[in-house]
Amino acid sequence: MTEKLTLNMNAYLPLRDVVFNTLREAILKGELKPGERLMELQLAARLGVSRTPIREAIRMLELEGLAVTVPRKGAQVAKMTEKDMEDVLQIRQTLDELAVKLACDKITEQQLRLLKGAVRDFEESTRSRDVKKVAQADVAFHDAIYRAADNPKLMNLLNNLREQMYRYRVEYLKDETAYPTLIAEHREIYEGLVRRDKETVAAAMVKHVMNQEIVVKNMIREQE
C-alpha cells in the first residue's frame, strides 16, 4: 500500500532514480499491487517530492514492464501475465543456453573458482529469508557465467533483458520450497562447466529456466 512507502535516499543518485528504485522495490515486494493506480499527486505527497521525479520514475517503470498507462485511467502497476512471462523466459532460456555453451569452451580456472564462490554465496543467501538478497546472489551466479562466455554482444543482450526478468525472478524466489532445487541446479551447472560437458550443462540450464517458468506460471494463475 502507498502509505507504507518510504523514500530510499541515496546521495549519489538523481532524485528520479531514488524515486524509481523506491517504487520498483515496492512493486517487487508487493507493497504496490498489480492493477494499483500510480497517481502522481498522491505518490509525490507520500514521498515528499514534486510530481516531476514521480512522472520520470513512472516512465522508467514502464520501460521495465512494471507499469502501464491505461487510457482514461492513467498509470498503474502492470499485472503479470503468462504471455509476458513466457516471452521473457523464452528469450532468457535461449541466451542462457548459448552463454553456458560458450563458457564451456572459454571459462578459466579463476572464473571457475569465482563461480564456485557464487554457488556457495547463493546457498548461504537462502538461509537469510531475505528475497532481495537471494535474488542478488542468483543474479551474481548467472553473471559469472555470462562473463565467462566472453561475448560482449551477448552480455549486452542479457543486460537489456535483466530488468524484465527481475520481477519473475523475485516471484520465483518468494517460494522458499524451491531453494533446494535451485541449489542443486546451480551445483549441476557448475560441475558441468568444470567437466566442460557442453551437452549436460546446456540441458541443466534449460531445465533451470523451465522450472522457474512452471512455478511462476502457477503463481500468476493463483493471483487471477
User: Looking at residue 38, which CATH number applies to its domain?
Assistant: 1.10.10.10
- Considering the domain architecture, whether residues 88 and 172 belong to the same structural domain is answered as yes
Domain boundary among 28, 55, 77: 77
What is the structure's pLDDT at 200?
96
* Beta carbons of 202 and 97 less than 8 angstroms apart: yes
| Total count of domains within the chain | 2
| Dihedral over alpha carbons 129, 133, 139, 143 (to 10 degrees) | -130
What is the structure's pLDDT at 183?
98
- Considering the domain architecture, whether residues 22 and 130 belong to the same structural domain is answered as no
- Considering the domain architecture, whether residues 197 and 89 belong to the same structural domain is answered as yes
Mean pLDDT by 10 residues, the chain (224 residues): 64 86 87 91 93 96 90 91 90 96 97 98 96 94 97 92 84 92 98 97 96 89 76
